[in-house]
A and B are shown apart, each in its own frame.
Chain A
Amino acid sequence: MIDIVVQALVNGLVSGTLLAVPAIGFTAMFAVLRFPNFAVSGIATLGAFAGYLAYGAGLQMAGSLVVAFVVAGAAGLLFDEVAHLPMVKQGALPAAIASIASGLVLENLVRLGFGNDPRGYDRPIARDIRLGDIRVSPQQLETMGLALALMLAVFAILAFTRIGKAMRASADNPDLASLKGIRPERIAMIASFAGMGLVGVGGMLLGLDSAIDPLTGTRILLSIFAAAVLGGLGSVPGAVLGAFLIGMAEELSVLAVGSQYRAAVGFVAILAMLTLRPRGLLGERAY
C-alpha cells in the first residue's frame, strides 16, 4: 500500500512539474493584464499540436518546445490584442468571458485542421527506471527536466533582467511603473506572448505523456486555474507550489476515490481556497 502511495506521489511530482509551466504563464498574465485568461485551454491545445508537427517534422524535443512556445505565444498575443484587452476596460469579467469564447474558437480551429482523433508523439520506447517498486520512465524524467529548466529560466529573467524587473514593477504598481517610463502596453504584450508561450509549452509537455486531441487543453484548464488560485493569483512561486499540490492531490485522489473524480480535485481546491484564504497560499508575491 505504501508503495502505491509513494508511486502516486512520484507521479504527482512529475505531473505537478509539467503543470507548473502553464500555471506560471497563466498567473503571470493575470498579474499584468488583470483578468483570468481562460483561452489557455485552446492555446495549450494549439501549442501541443504545433509541437507535435515540429517533432514529426524531425525537430528535437527542445526545438519542438520552442515551436510550441512561439506559435502559442503569437496566437495568445493576437487574441489578447483583438478580443480580450479591449474588453478589460469594461472589467475583468467581460474579458474573462471573451477568453472562454476564444478558447472555444481555438479548440475548433484545431478540430478543423486535425479532426477529433487522438495523436501520439512518436517517442522512442525506453525501459522504466526502477527504484525498489517505484517506477519512472526516462521520458518522464526528460520532460520534467525540460520543465524545470524552463521554470528556472523564468525565475532568472524575473529576478535579474531589466525587462523581468519591469514586468514585476508593472504588475506590482502599474501607475508608478508608467511614471517611471515603463510603457504598460509594451509590458502587456510581453506578458501575453510569454505567458501564452509557456501555456503552449505546457500543453505539449502534458500531451507528451499521453495523446493529444482538440480537448487536450480543455482537460487541463481546471488544473491550471486551480494551481494558480491555490498559490495566489498573480504569484509565480505560488503557481509552482499550487501546481505541485494539485498534481499530487490529483494522483492521490485516483487512489482514494477513483479516476473518474480526478477532475473534482481542482474544483474542491478552488472552492476551499476561495472560502478559507482567498489571496492564496503565497498572496500576490510577484516572484
Chain B
Amino acid sequence: MSPRANGPRSDLLDIVGLRGGYAAADEIVKGADLRVAPGEIVALIGPNGAGKSTLLKLVAGLLRPSGGSVRFKDREIAGLGAPTISRAGLSFVPQERNVFGTMSVAENLEMGGYLDGAHARQRMADLYERFPMLADKRRAAARTLSGGQRQILAMAIALMNAPDLLLLDEPTAGLSPRAAEELFGTILALNGTGVAILMVEQNALEALTVAGRAYVLVQGRPEHEGRAADLADDPTVRDLFLGGKAAPMLARSDGESSKREKGNNT
C-alpha cells in the first residue's frame, strides 16, 4: 500500500497517515501518505473538494492535524504551528491572500525575511535581480499588482527565508494562459536552483508536464501515485480526474484554462 515503490529514497518531506480538516468533526484529509525528495517537483492533483489545499495547510501548520505524522528533514513537524514550521525551511504560498496587499512590494519581501533579518538585504537584492519586475514595483502597494505579478511576489516572499521546500497552492489559478505558462517556467527555474516543490494544481495537465512525480488525491486520500508522465497517460486517471474524455484535452497544449475545459465537458 505504501507508495514507496519508485522515486528517490531519502525524503525531504515524509507524510504518513495524515488526517485533519477545518474542524475536528469534519475531516477532509483522511489518511494521506505522500513524500517529496530533495530537489523534486511533485504535483498534487485531483477533483475539487478532494482536500488538496487542506493537505497543504495541514503540512504548513495553518491547520492542526488530527492524526498522522509529517516529517520534514527528519524532524516531526505535525502540529508545530506555522511560524515554527516555516523556520524549519518549509515555505507555503497560499492560493489566495498570499501577499500583504496594503504594504509595498519591498515591505512584502522584508516580511518574507522576517525570521532571518541578517540575510534579508542580500536575498532581496538577489530576488530583484531574478525578477526585475519586483525591483521596478518595489514602492508599489502589492494590491496594485496584476494577477501574474502577484503570484511572482508571493513566491518571492516565500523564497526570502531560503526554504528547502516550497508548497504552492494552485499558483496559476485565475491567471491568463500566457501568465500561467510563464509562471510554470518560473517554477521550473526555481526548482533548478535546488528548491523542492510540492504543488497543488487545478491545471492538471500542465502540472503533470512540469512535475517529476504526482499524486492524485481523491476524497482525502492519494489514490494514484507515480511518474507524472505515466499518470498523464493513465486512462483511469484521465477518466476520473482530468475531466473524462481526455483525448482532445491532451492534444491541446495551448494552455487553455482548466475551467474552460471543464465547462466544455459538462
Contact = CB atoms under 8 A, between A and B. Distances in A.
A181 B98 contact: no
Interface in A10-62: none
A180 B115 contact: yes
Given A172-B102, A175-B94, A166 B111 contact: yes
Interface residues of B, number: 27
A168 B97 contact: no
Contacts of A284: 102
Interface in A92-113: none
Interface in B87-117: 87, 91-92, 94, 97-103, 107, 110-112, 114-115, 117
Interface in A157-177: 162, 165-166, 168-169, 172-173, 175-177
B161 interface: yes
Interface string B42-83: 000000000000000000111000000000000000000111
A259 interface: no
A182 interface: yes
B110 A165 contact: yes
A175 B98 CA distance: 9
B111 A177 contact: yes
Nearest to A234: B102
Interface string A61-98: 00000000000000000000000000000000000000
A181 B115 contact: yes
A175 B62 contact: yes
A32 to B, nearest CB: 13
* Contact-residue size bin, chain A (C-beta under 8 Å from the other chain): 10 to 19
B86 A179 contact: yes
B82 to A, nearest CB: 4
Nearest to B110: A165
Contact of B100 (A162, A168, A181): A168
Interface of A: 162, 165-166, 168-169, 172-173, 175-183, 284-286
22 contacts: A162-B117, A165-B107, A165-B111, A166-B114, A168-B102, A169-B103, A169-B111, A172-B103, A173-B101, A175-B62, A175-B94, A176-B98, A178-B62, A179-B60, A179-B62, A179-B82, A179-B92, A181-B114, A181-B161, A182-B83, A182-B114, A286-B103
Interface of B: 60-62, 81-83, 86-87, 91-92, 94, 97-103, 107, 110-112, 114-115, 117, 157, 161
